[in-house]
Amino acid sequence: MPVRKRLVYYGAQDYYRNSYGTPIGNQKVGVYLEIRNGKADHLGLPLPKGKVRVYKADASGSQEFVGEDWIDHTPEDERVKIKMGNAFDLVGERTQKDWRRIADRVWEVEWEIVLRNHKKLGQIVTVIEPVPGDWQVLSSTHPCEKSDRHTLTWELAVPREGVAKLVYRLRTRY
């Protein structure tokens, strides 16, 4: 069956401060598999809620367990998203570079996201950033998409054994 592998970096998911008040910026890049539950994809049956285990053929052709996740009840012709875990050879770092008050209840903030790839192949990583309040993008080093009212999304190409850097600036009103 056709499977789409996605690498996703949720920018603010684990952004918190340690006991010394220092922001923790290194975060994991999630590995997801997406499958369409359709007849054309050799499925097409209602899938019950439960555990899904994923196996992959190794060099000798034997099946090797690579991960598992829980799915919800999934009707025919819907997508199933399986989180396989976190990539150990892709690292993301999110740093707030600027924060200033422009007017009453109006702020500008600048974020820098650095993705480091330790793999032998280049990777495409989806960066998902939450954006609170009423906002507009003032600048961005890469094209972005407004996924919904409070979410920005980028697709970043990270070169093999290399680094990709995203810097963007927002104006927000609360």
Instruction: Give 72-127 pLDDT, tens digit per residue.
Output: 999 999 999 999 999 999 999 998 999 999 999 999 999 999 999 999 999 999 99
Mean pLDDT of 60-81: 93
pLDDT at 133: 86
Mean pLDDT of 11-16: 60
- DSSP secondary structure letters along 20-52: TS-EE-EEEEEEEEEEE-SGGGT--SPBPSEEE
Mean pLDDT of 162-170: 97
pTM listed for this prediction: 0.85
Local confidence band at 23 (pLDDT 50, 70, 90 cut-offs): low
- Flag the least confident range among 43-47, 69-73, 114-118: 43-47
Superfamily of domain 7-29+87-173: Mu homology domain, subdomain B (2.60.40.1170)
- Of residues 174 and 101, more confidently modeled: 101
Which residues of the chain form CATH 2.60.40.1170? 7-29+87-173
pLDDT at 165: 98
Q: Are strands 134-140 and 163-173 parallel, antiparallel or unpaired?
A: antiparallel
Instruction: Give 125-151 pLDDT, tens digit per residue.
Output: 999 998 888 999 999 999 999 999 999
Mean pLDDT of 15-41: 74
pLDDT at 110: 95
Distance CA 130, CA 150 (A): 6
| Buried/exposed 93-127: b ≥16 CB within 10 Å, e otherwise | bbeeeeeeeeeeeebebbbbbbbbbeeeeebebbb
